[in-house]
Amino acid sequence: MNDMTPAQAERAEKLQGMGCKRKRVEDIRFVQGRGSYVDDLKLPGMLYGDFVRSPYGHARIKKIDASKAKAVPGVLAVLTAADLKPLSLHYMPTLAGDVQAVLAEEKVLYQNQEVAFIIAEDRYVAADAVELVTVEYEELPVIVDPFKAMAPDAPVLREDIKDKTDGAHGKRKHYNHIFAWEIGDKEATDQAFKKAEVTIKELISYQRVHPCPLETCQCVASFDKIKGELTVWGTFQAPHVIRTVASLISKIPEHKIHVIAPDIGGGFGNKVGAYPGYICAVVASIVTGRPVKWVEDRIENLSTTSFARDYHMTTEIAATKDGRVMGLRVHVLADHGAFDACADPSKWPAGFFNIVTGSYDFPVAHCAVDGVYSNKAPGGVAYRCSFRVTEAAYCIERAMDILAQKLGMDPADLRLKNLIKREQFPYQSALGWEYDSGDYHAAMNKAMESVGYRQLRAEQKAKQEAFKRGDTRELMGIGVIFFTEIVGAGPSRNCDILGIAMFDSAEIRIHPTGAVIARMGTKSQGQGHETTYAQIIATELGLPADDITIEEGNTDTAPYGLGTYGSRSTPTAGAATAMAARKIKAKAQMIAADLLEVSEYDLEWDIDRFRVKGNPERFKTMKELAWAAYNRVSKGLEPGLEAVNYYDPPNMTYPFGAYICVVDVDVDTGVTKVRRFYALDDCGTRINPMIIEGQVHGGLTEAYGIAMGQEIRYDEVGNVTGPTFMDYFLPTAVETPRWETDWTTTPSPHHPIGAKGVGESPNVGGVPCFANAVNDAFKFLGSTHIPMPHDHWRTWTAAEKLGLHG
């Protein structure tokens, strides 16, 4: 593109194609309050649903009395498990091969579990009626500590499957055990540890958190009895999958179900799965013959519809005494809550956790994961992360710092010594992945130079001396990490959801005037797909992005796709978009050859047109070719100009990055200030740098929230404590650090436009970077590992334990 003439550059610029900071199309409606979110929908005769929920973490239901609630004027019905059971809808299948109670039948397994569903004329009346349902419970002992779940005398949680010895992923070891998953060469890894000069071992826990988009989960279900058709508008990150699941559960034929995901107010993994509210709204609409809206409130959101992490990772590294890593061994205890509703591709019960060797050249590794039930909300979603990748990144990046500390090495130097080298790509990892491309050392060196890493270490050393002398009460910490993501799930050979291969799709229609409508199987929740997919088409086809409308989320019109999560939209639907555009371009070339009366092979592409080689004055623009496709049908060709592509990616993509963070910790208050945060991301080809930077800002802010304060906590009797914004830490503009962003570009060799995806990288890399920074501040005082979240209280406590308060 650099050898363009000024005239060509002007034409290219007008297209607003790939690489430009195109302003977002979606913003026009959003800045005027004209977005169309689920709760904005108002249908004639619409009813409202609301849940009666369990106050207990584990209890037997003795009796439900809804008579007073039913007597409230405006209440139409109260659904309980007894009503759903004849329809076989009291349980629903989960994505992880388990079942989840829609309404609790004989007992409740976590606080705020759904027990009854009120259907009323008005949301206020529904809320009144919730208060009038009396449920008698008999309390049962609870399990909130996953390490106690498989004790010989542990209470039986899942009575419905207590005698089932085979789970969805093999033998169960205990009645509260869900699955065991193992990967890598155990014997060779054990050998590496036997021979190791240096080893480290640490239990690294990643606390339970929640994705918490600003808009909660919600839906409107409308069943048309005459047509036998169901329409569901909902906050769905994967609308097509929801339709298929709805059809399988309800037995309504798939073509008679219309699932529509309108504008979505953030998802971050929270809106991938199906929840009891959706099922109850559908049943309520079938029962009443009227549309039913269900909107969860914030407490319901934080305490019931999914969670993320709750991974307890016992991590060991074997190394030589000069800092070469020789082996990695990880055992994970995974707390999945009361039902295994983990949102992972079917064959991956621990997601892609086996990316845990990270960016380092481990010759051998072994990883085992045990999933257990507990009296906590079900879920296990990828909170801005590609299926347990952020757990893996936190695990390896903390462990590398602990190893550096043991070796007396600088953590950046340890990483530089072990990073996979550029010439090793494509790289086969010890746990089975093929990393597509990378230039890790270039990225790491650029990051270190950009922040003046060595000078920061010198400053830190001086501050540590001053602290020891008693001249300051402030500690300086430097967090440095290098992450490798694995996104774009995924190749059909190893990725499916309930048996459906995880391809994605694009359909592009060029109309006679050259205006375009394109539809994809993904669904934006703020990522700006309407803007960026159009940029791909603009560059591929030479039509202005402003003439291209992108539509997603309506299963009637969009081609089938698996949705948006796991940073998969660009690697899958973005690829499909380019491939569909190329089919159109190939046909346009034939039409151009016919119009210009030359052979196709005598034509060459020039930004927005085909021109005759050696005779650039003879050309046909794409706009002219669009008209010709409908107006003057070339011999042997069908009229029209459109294409569809279903893209089955040959491999995952592997974005990576180097992050460095500087914090100042007041040891007397525990207050930690982020002085600086530098993020270098390599996401391959950059479609819209403005949107990429925005994604990085947002992901880093979510990472800051997780590392510095977020936690969904349970007390010893199973009460979920603090599921409101009073307690659950969402950073405001005041605490949020200023972000410095940077990049390198290493295109993916197997993606049609070389793009890798970026949305989740900053969360994956950001969390360990903050954690390493806080830990780094205390390291010189003998501290090895302070667990997250690093809120003021915990940081103060860490200082207290080190005897820093005199």
Contacting positions for other proteins (CB under 8 A): 21, 23-24, 26-35, 37, 39-40, 42, 123-124, 212-216, 263-266, 268, 297-299, 525-528, 690-691, 693-695, 697-702, 724-726, 730, 732-734, 736, 738-739
Residue 692: CB minimum distance to other proteins, A: 10
Largest CA-CA distance found in the chain, in angstroms, rounded: 90
Residue 210: CB minimum distance to other proteins, A: 11
Contacts of 423 (CB under 8 A, 6+ apart): none
- What SS3 class is residue 482? strand
- What SS3 class is residue 385? coil
Q: Are 658 and 680 in contact (CB under 8 A)?
A: yes
User: What sign results for the dihedral spanned by CA atoms 637, 642, 648, 653?
Assistant: positive
633-640 contacts at long range (C-beta below 8 A, 24 or more positions apart): 634/590, 634/591, 634/594, 634/595, 635/594, 637/587, 637/590, 637/591, 637/594
Residue 569: CB minimum distance to other proteins, A: 14
Any idea which residue has 């501290």 for tokens?
783
Judged by CB, which is closer to other proteins: 295, or 367?
295
Q: Are 551 and 519 in contact (CB under 8 A)?
A: yes
Distance of CA 498 to the CA centre of its chain: 18
Nearest to 286 by CA among 133, 77, 94, 101: 77
Q: Check if 760 is active-site.
A: yes
Any idea which residue has 């409101």 for tokens?
724
Q: Are 56 and 111 in contact (CB under 8 A)?
A: yes
Nearest to 797 by CA among 636, 251, 787: 787
419-424 contacts at long range (C-beta below 8 A, 24 or more positions apart): 419/359, 419/360, 419/361, 419/444, 419/482, 420/359, 420/360, 420/361, 421/361, 424/361
Judged by CB, which is closer to other proteins: 42, or 251?
42
Residue 50: CB minimum distance to other proteins, A: 13
Residue 358: CB minimum distance to other proteins, A: 25
Judged by CB, which is closer to other proteins: 131, or 471?
131
Cβ count near 133 (within 10 Å):
20
In the chain, what is the straight-line distance between the N-terminal and C-terminal CA atoms, in Å? 65
Cβ count near 806 (within 10 Å):
4
Single out the catalytic residue among 53, 172, 309, 384.
Answer: 384
Single out the catalytic residue among 367, 385, 395, 769.
Answer: 385
Judged by CB, which is closer to other proteins: 124, or 147?
124
DSSP one-letter string for 549-572: EEE-SBTTTSPP---S-TT-IIII
Judged by CB, which is closer to other proteins: 85, or 298?
298
Judged by CB, which is closer to other proteins: 640, or 689?
689
CA-CA distance, 93 to 97, in Å (whole number)?
Answer: 7
Residue 701: CB minimum distance to other proteins, A: 4
Distance of CA 592 to the CA centre of its chain: 43
Helix intervals (H) in 354-439: 389-407, 411-418
Residue 633: CB minimum distance to other proteins, A: 41
Q: Are 771 and 394 in contact (CB under 8 A)?
A: yes
Single out the catalytic residue among 53, 202, 760, 794.
Answer: 760
CA-CA distance, 566 to 442, in Å (whole number)?
Answer: 26
Residue 731: CB minimum distance to other proteins, A: 8
Judged by CB, which is closer to other proteins: 36, or 320?
36
Residue 732: CB minimum distance to other proteins, A: 4
Cβ count near 214 (within 10 Å):
9
Which residue type, as a one-letter code, is found at position 272? V
Single out the catalytic residue among 16, 100, 113, 237.
Answer: 237
Judged by CB, which is closer to other proteins: 98, or 530?
530
Judged by CB, which is closer to other proteins: 211, or 566?
211
Judged by CB, which is closer to other proteins: 531, or 572?
531
Residue 526: CB minimum distance to other proteins, A: 3
CA-CA distance, 730 to 24, in Å (whole number)?
Answer: 26
Distance of CA 383 to the CA centre of its chain: 5
The DSSP secondary-structure symbol of 419 reads B
Any idea which residue has 């205390």 for tokens?
778
CA-CA distance, 768 to 618, in Å (whole number)?
Answer: 57
CA-CA distance, 769 to 775, in Å (whole number)?
Answer: 10
Residue 792: CB minimum distance to other proteins, A: 17
Q: Write out the H or E segment, with its range, that includes residue 689.
A: helix 689-708
- What SS3 class is residue 62? strand
User: What sign results for the dihedral spanned by CA atoms 556, 557, 558, 563?
Assistant: negative
Q: Are 761 and 485 in contact (CB under 8 A)?
A: yes
Nearest to 784 by CA among 765, 802, 797, 769: 802
Peptide bond into 789 cis (omega under 30): yes
Judged by CB, which is closer to other proteins: 2, or 32?
32
Q: Are 168 and 96 in contact (CB under 8 A)?
A: yes
Q: Check if 237 is active-site.
A: yes
Nearest to 755 by CA among 608, 553, 519, 539: 539
Residue 646: CB minimum distance to other proteins, A: 27
Judged by CB, which is closer to other proteins: 69, or 799?
69
Residue 267: CB minimum distance to other proteins, A: 8
Judged by CB, which is closer to other proteins: 236, or 348?
236
Active site residues: 237, 384-385, 760
